[in-house]
């Protein structure tokens, strides 16, 4: 097996890949998991949170809005929202019907309006208009659970945390890092495999991979750079040419999800809402 984890081309230009065996011991599992981490870090050196934000308040609101919708749709919606309500105090005092209309494209807009206005009121009344930098206080806010809290802590405060979204949960089970389905238990078991300092970037790497290559219904196994390390290789399309057509975002030559991506992002920015 090549040290890099990349599959070596066989005759005809196709890669020969064998499904990796699940690690038989705890030590083996840790080594396998950390090797996948290193490989993903090489594949996605530009991995980042895919929500546009300029401060903790914006990231908190955007993360709450991202439930049951795409980061792209949130990023297309929040510019108008933050232009009208730039601070928690502004949003706390807003007309709910006007907020509902602004965030309608994200879906479940009535419930989300109640959450973001409620958490803005709590920030105003209980935290001096500032987003708290700890899990204990964040999860007290309306609409904020551990996943949202760790997104905010990891990306706005530099506090390490694991974000267990649908992509993360799917991939870590495919890789046999855990058999758990409960997000809190997944967070605990996967977190134990890595140094705490790596938790935030681990989340980004895994989620990036899940969105671009290791899809839920049809993973692009034949175009996967960590295929030789994957116990689930073969669940998806193994033909390299067919798999290449399944890639998304910058890996497939498509725009990304952020309207304002980081400078090192190699793909195209997402279009604004209503753009052709």
- Residue 9's beta-bridge partner residues? 15
Instruction: Please give the full DSSP string across 117-184, using - where no structure is assigned.
Output: HHHHHHHHHHSTT---SSHHHHTTSTT--HHHHHHHIIIII--------HHHHHHHHHTTS----SHH
Residue 200 structure tokens: 């935030």
d(CA 270, CA 267): 9
Active site residue 147: yes
Output the 3-class SS for 78-113. Answer: HHHHHHHCCCHHHHHCCCHHHHHHHHHHHCCHHHHH
Active site residue 114: no
Q: Which residues contact 159 (CB under 8 A, 6 or more apart)?
A: 133, 134, 153
d(CA 56, CA 89): 14
SS3 at position 255 = strand
d(CA 259, CA 67): 19
User: Catalytic pick from 90, 137, 165, 198?
Assistant: 165
d(CA 171, CA 194): 16
Residue 160 structure tokens: 């390490």
User: Catalytic pick from 6, 112, 147, 251?
Assistant: 147
Question: Which DSSP category does 20 fall into?
Answer: P
Task: List residues with catalytic annotation.
Answer: 147, 165
């Amino acid at each position: 097996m090549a040290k890099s984890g990349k599959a070596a081309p066989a005759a005809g230009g196709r890669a020969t890949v064998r499904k990796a065996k699940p690690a038989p011991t705890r030590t083996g599992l840790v080594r396998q998991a950390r090797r996948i981490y290193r490989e993903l870090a090489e594949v996605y050196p530009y991995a980042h949170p895919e929500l546009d934000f300029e401060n903790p308040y914006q990231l908190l609101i955007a993360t709450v809005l991202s439930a049951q919708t795409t980061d792209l749709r949130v990023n297309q919606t929040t510019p108008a929202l933050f232009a009208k309500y730039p601070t928690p105090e502004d949003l706390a005092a807003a007309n709910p019907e006007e907020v509902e209309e602004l965030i309608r494209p994200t879906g479940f807009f009535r419930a989300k309006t109640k959450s973001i206005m409620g958490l803005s009121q709590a920030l105003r009344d209980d935290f001096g208009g500032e987003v708290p930098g700890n899990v204990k206080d964040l999860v007290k806010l309306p609409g904020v659970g551990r996943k949202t809290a760790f997104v905010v802590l990891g990306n706005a405060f530099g506090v390490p945390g694991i974000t267990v979204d649908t992509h993360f949960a799917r991939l870590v089970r495919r890789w046999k890092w855990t058999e758990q389905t409960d997000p809190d238990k997944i967070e605990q078991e996967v977190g134990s495999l890595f140094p705490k300092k790596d938790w935030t970037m681990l989340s980004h790497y895994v989620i990036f991979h899940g969105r671009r290559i290791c899809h839920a219904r049809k993973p692009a196994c034949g175009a996967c750079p960590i295929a030789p390390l994957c116990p689930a290789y073969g669940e998806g399309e193994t033909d390299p040419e067919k798999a290449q057509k399944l890639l998304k975002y910058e890996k497939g030559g498509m725009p990304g999800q952020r309207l304002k991506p980081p400078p090192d992002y190699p793909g195209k920015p997402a279009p604004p809402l209503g753009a052709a």
